[in-house]
Amino acid sequence: MEDLFALLIPILAVSIPIVAIWTRHKQRLAQIQLEAQAQLGSERTAQYANIVRDLEERVRVLERIVTDRGYDVASQLEALRDPAPAMGQDRKKAEIQ
Protein backbone atom coordinates (compact mmCIF):
# COMPACT_ATOMS: atom_id res chain seq x y z
CA MET A 1 0.00 0.00 0.00
CA GLU A 2 2.84 2.35 0.85
CA ASP A 3 4.39 1.58 -2.51
CA LEU A 4 1.17 2.67 -4.18
CA PHE A 5 1.17 6.00 -2.32
CA ALA A 6 4.84 6.46 -3.09
CA LEU A 7 4.00 6.01 -6.78
CA LEU A 8 0.95 8.30 -6.71
CA ILE A 9 2.77 11.28 -5.19
CA PRO A 10 5.15 11.83 -8.14
CA ILE A 11 2.32 11.16 -10.59
CA LEU A 12 0.19 13.85 -8.90
CA ALA A 13 3.17 16.19 -8.75
CA VAL A 14 3.59 15.92 -12.52
CA SER A 15 -0.09 15.84 -13.50
CA ILE A 16 -1.18 18.99 -11.59
CA PRO A 17 1.03 21.36 -13.65
CA ILE A 18 0.01 19.58 -16.84
CA VAL A 19 -3.68 20.08 -16.03
CA ALA A 20 -3.03 23.73 -15.12
CA ILE A 21 -1.22 24.37 -18.42
CA TRP A 22 -3.96 22.60 -20.36
CA THR A 23 -6.77 24.62 -18.72
CA ARG A 24 -4.88 27.90 -19.29
CA HIS A 25 -4.44 26.91 -22.94
CA LYS A 26 -8.16 26.17 -23.28
CA GLN A 27 -9.01 29.55 -21.73
CA ARG A 28 -6.73 31.36 -24.19
CA LEU A 29 -8.27 29.51 -27.12
CA ALA A 30 -11.76 30.43 -25.94
CA GLN A 31 -10.74 34.08 -25.55
CA ILE A 32 -9.20 34.17 -29.05
CA GLN A 33 -12.32 32.58 -30.50
CA LEU A 34 -14.58 35.13 -28.76
CA GLU A 35 -12.46 38.01 -30.04
CA ALA A 36 -12.60 36.64 -33.59
CA GLN A 37 -16.38 36.25 -33.39
CA ALA A 38 -16.75 39.79 -32.02
CA GLN A 39 -14.65 41.20 -34.85
CA LEU A 40 -16.63 39.23 -37.42
CA GLY A 41 -19.85 40.44 -35.85
CA SER A 42 -18.73 44.06 -36.01
CA GLU A 43 -17.72 43.66 -39.67
CA ARG A 44 -21.13 42.19 -40.48
CA THR A 45 -22.82 45.00 -38.59
CA ALA A 46 -20.92 47.55 -40.67
CA GLN A 47 -21.89 45.75 -43.89
CA TYR A 48 -25.54 45.65 -42.87
CA ALA A 49 -25.42 49.33 -41.94
CA ASN A 50 -24.11 50.16 -45.42
CA ILE A 51 -26.82 48.07 -47.06
CA VAL A 52 -29.53 49.72 -44.95
CA ARG A 53 -28.15 53.18 -45.75
CA ASP A 54 -28.22 52.40 -49.50
CA LEU A 55 -31.75 51.04 -49.30
CA GLU A 56 -32.94 54.07 -47.34
CA GLU A 57 -31.49 56.35 -50.01
CA ARG A 58 -33.27 54.41 -52.74
CA VAL A 59 -36.56 54.64 -50.84
CA ARG A 60 -36.08 58.41 -50.46
CA VAL A 61 -35.57 58.74 -54.22
CA LEU A 62 -38.68 56.69 -54.94
CA GLU A 63 -40.69 58.73 -52.43
CA ARG A 64 -39.52 61.91 -54.13
CA ILE A 65 -40.56 60.58 -57.52
CA VAL A 66 -44.02 59.66 -56.29
CA THR A 67 -44.71 62.71 -54.15
CA ASP A 68 -42.96 65.54 -56.04
CA ARG A 69 -43.96 64.77 -59.59
CA GLY A 70 -47.35 63.15 -59.28
CA TYR A 71 -48.24 59.56 -59.97
CA ASP A 72 -46.77 59.11 -63.43
CA VAL A 73 -44.40 56.50 -62.02
CA ALA A 74 -44.60 54.01 -64.88
CA SER A 75 -43.27 56.45 -67.49
CA GLN A 76 -40.54 57.66 -65.15
CA LEU A 77 -39.42 54.11 -64.41
CA GLU A 78 -39.33 53.37 -68.14
CA ALA A 79 -37.19 56.46 -68.63
CA LEU A 80 -34.74 55.20 -66.00
CA ARG A 81 -34.24 51.88 -67.75
CA ASP A 82 -31.11 51.21 -69.76
CA PRO A 83 -31.34 53.27 -72.96
CA ALA A 84 -28.99 50.95 -74.89
CA PRO A 85 -31.68 48.40 -75.93
CA ALA A 86 -33.94 51.23 -77.13
CA MET A 87 -31.13 52.63 -79.28
CA GLY A 88 -30.55 49.20 -80.78
CA GLN A 89 -34.23 48.97 -81.71
CA ASP A 90 -34.12 52.42 -83.31
CA ARG A 91 -31.14 51.33 -85.43
CA LYS A 92 -32.97 48.20 -86.53
CA LYS A 93 -35.98 50.30 -87.53
CA ALA A 94 -33.72 52.66 -89.46
CA GLU A 95 -32.06 49.76 -91.25
CA ILE A 96 -35.42 48.27 -92.22
CA GLN A 97 -36.62 51.57 -93.73
* pLDDT (tens digit per residue) in 78-94: 777 766 555 555 555 55
Whether 2 has a pLDDT exceeding 90, the answer reads no
Query: What is the mean predicted confidence (pLDDT) over 32-44?
Result: 91
- In a domain? residue 92: no
Kindly indicate the confidence band of residue 3, based on its pLDDT and cuts at 50, 70 and 90: confident
- In a domain? residue 69: yes
Query: What is the mean predicted confidence (pLDDT) over 36-40?
Result: 91
pLDDT number for residue 18? 93
Query: What is the mean predicted confidence (pLDDT) over 58-74?
Result: 75
- In a domain? residue 91: no
With beta carbons less than 8 A apart as the criterion, state whether 26 and 34 touch: no
- In a domain? residue 85: no
73: domain range?
2-80
Mean pLDDT, all residues of the chain: 81
- In a domain? residue 51: yes
- In a domain? residue 62: yes
Specify the pTM: 0.44
Total structural domains within the chain? 1
- In a domain? residue 97: no
- In a domain? residue 24: yes
